[in-house]
Chain A
Amino acid sequence: MMHRRPLLAAVALAAPGVARAQNRPRRILMLLFRGWEEACDGFRDYFAVRHRPVDLIVRNAQEDLKRVPDMVREAQAMQPDLVYLWGTTLAMAALGPWDAHDPARHLTGMPVVFNIVTDPVRNRVVRTRTEPGRPVTGTEYIAPVAVQLGAMASYRPFRRAAALYNPREGNSVVTLEEMNELLATRGAMLDRLPVPLAEGRPQAEAIPGLVARAREGGAEWLYIPPDTFLNEHRAALTAAALREGLPSFSASERFVAFADALAGLVSRYYSVGAFTAFKAEQILFGGVAPGAIPVETLSRFSYLVRMDTARRLRAYPPVSLLRIAEAV
Chain B
Amino acid sequence: MSLPEDGTARILARLVRNLSLIAIAVLLGTVVAVSFAALGAFEREVRPALEREATVIGTVVANPFERALGLGIPFDALVGAEEYLDGVATSQPAVAYLVLTDLDGRILAASGPAAATFRTQREVSGVTEATLPVAAPGGRPQGWLLVGVSRAAVDGIVEDTRWDLLIVLLVGVMVAMELLRYALDRSVIGPLSMIDRMARRLAAGDCSVLADPGAADEAGRVALALNALLRRLADRCAQLEWLATEAAAVGARAAREAAALIAGLRERLRLREGGAVAEPAQPSASAARLPLFLFVVAEQLSTSFIPLFGRDLARHGPAFASPDLLAALPIATFVAAVALATPWGGTVTARRGPRAAVLIGGAVAGLGYLGAALAQDLPQFALARVFCGIGYAVLTIACQTQMAVAAQQGRLARTLGGFTGTVMTGAVCGTAIGAVIADRLGYAATFLASVALVVVVMGLALRAIPRGMTDPKAAGQGVVAGARAAFGNARFTALLLLAAIPAKVVLAGFIFYLAPIALRDAGLSQAAVGRNVMLYGLCMLPAIALGGWLTDRARIGDGLIWGAAVLNGAAMLAIPLLREDVSLPIAIGLTGVAQGLASAPMLAEVAAGAGGSTALLLSFLRLGERVGSVVGPFAAAWLLARSDVGSAVAVLGAATALAGLGYALAARGRRRQEAAA
A residues with a Cβ closer than 8 A to B are 307, 310-311, 314, 316-323, 327
**Nearest 3 CB-CB pairs, A to B?**
A318-B80, A320-B84, A319-B84
| B355-414 with Cβ < 8 A to chain A | none
The answer to whether B71 and A314 touch across the interface, beta carbons within 8 angstroms, is no
- Cα A320 to Cα B98 in complex, Å, equals 15
In the complex, whether B63 has a CB less than 8 A from a CB of chain A is: yes
What's the nearest-Cβ distance from chain B to residue A37, in Å?
28
The answer to whether B68 and A320 touch across the interface, beta carbons within 8 angstroms, is no
The answer to whether A322 and B77 touch across the interface, beta carbons within 8 angstroms, is no
- Cα A320 to Cα B67 in complex, Å, equals 11
Residues of chain B lying within 8 A (CB to CB) of residue A317: 68, 79
Chain A, Cβ-Cβ closest to B66: A322
Interface 0/1 of B43-81, CB less than 8 Å to A: 000000000000000000001110110011100011111
Known A319-B65, A323-B67; 17 more pairs at CB < 8 Å = A307-B71, A307-B72, A314-B77, A316-B68, A316-B79, A318-B79, A318-B80, A318-B83, A319-B68, A319-B79, A319-B83, A319-B84, A320-B64, A320-B80, A320-B87, A321-B80, A322-B68
The answer to whether A323 and B78 touch across the interface, beta carbons within 8 angstroms, is no
- Cα A157 to Cα B310 in complex, Å, equals 56
What's the nearest-Cβ distance from chain B to residue A315, in Å?
8
Chain A, Cβ-Cβ closest to B81: A319
Residues of chain A lying within 8 A (CB to CB) of residue B65: 319
What's the nearest-Cβ distance from chain A to residue B369, in Å?
54
Residues of chain A lying within 8 A (CB to CB) of residue B68: 316-317, 319, 322
What's the nearest-Cβ distance from chain B to residue A28, in Å?
41
Give the interface size class of chain B: 10 to 19
What's the nearest-Cβ distance from chain A to residue B69, in Å?
10
The answer to whether B77 and A320 touch across the interface, beta carbons within 8 angstroms, is no
What's the nearest-Cβ distance from chain A to residue B214, in Å?
81
B interface, by DSSP: helix, strand, loop or mixed?
helix
Can you list 30 A-B contacts (CB < 8 A)? A307-B71, A307-B72, A310-B73, A314-B77, A316-B68, A316-B73, A316-B77, A316-B78, A317-B68, A317-B79, A318-B79, A318-B80, A318-B83, A318-B84, A319-B65, A319-B78, A319-B79, A319-B80, A319-B83, A320-B64, A320-B80, A320-B84, A320-B87, A321-B80, A322-B64, A322-B67, A322-B68, A322-B71, A323-B64, A323-B67
Chain B, Cβ-Cβ closest to A317: B79
| B120-154 with Cβ < 8 A to chain A | none
Chain B, Cβ-Cβ closest to A327: B71
Residues of chain B lying within 8 A (CB to CB) of residue A307: 71-72
- Cα A319 to Cα B73 in complex, Å, equals 10
What's the nearest-Cβ distance from chain A to residue B532, in Å?
44
The answer to whether B64 and A319 touch across the interface, beta carbons within 8 angstroms, is yes
Chain B, Cβ-Cβ closest to A320: B84
Total cross-chain contacts (CB, 8 A): 39
What's the nearest-Cβ distance from chain A to residue B145, in Å?
12
- Cα A320 to Cα B64 in complex, Å, equals 7
Residues of chain B lying within 8 A (CB to CB) of residue A316: 68, 73, 77-79
Residues of chain A lying within 8 A (CB to CB) of residue B71: 307, 322, 327
What's the nearest-Cβ distance from chain B to residue A115, in Å?
32
- Cα A307 to Cα B136 in complex, Å, equals 15
- Cα A320 to Cα B83 in complex, Å, equals 8
Chain A, Cβ-Cβ closest to B77: A316
What's the nearest-Cβ distance from chain A to residue B177, in Å?
61
Residues of chain A lying within 8 A (CB to CB) of residue B64: 319-320, 322-323
- Cα A323 to Cα B78 in complex, Å, equals 14
What's the nearest-Cβ distance from chain A to residue B147, in Å?
16
Residues of chain A lying within 8 A (CB to CB) of residue B87: 320
- Most chain B CB inside 10 Å of its own CB: which residue of A317, A320, A321, A322: A322
What's the nearest-Cβ distance from chain A to residue B72, in Å?
6
- Cα A286 to Cα B64 in complex, Å, equals 45
- Cα A311 to Cα B71 in complex, Å, equals 10
What's the nearest-Cβ distance from chain B to residue A22, in Å?
45
Residues of chain B lying within 8 A (CB to CB) of residue A310: 73
- Cα A310 to Cα B65 in complex, Å, equals 16
What's the nearest-Cβ distance from chain A to residue B87, in Å?
6
What's the nearest-Cβ distance from chain A to residue B432, in Å?
47
- Cα A319 to Cα B63 in complex, Å, equals 10
What's the nearest-Cβ distance from chain B to residue A320, in Å?
4
Chain B, Cβ-Cβ closest to A311: B72
What's the nearest-Cβ distance from chain B to residue A56, in Å?
39
Residues of chain B lying within 8 A (CB to CB) of residue A318: 79-80, 83-84
- Most chain B CB inside 10 Å of its own CB: which residue of A317, A319, A321: A319
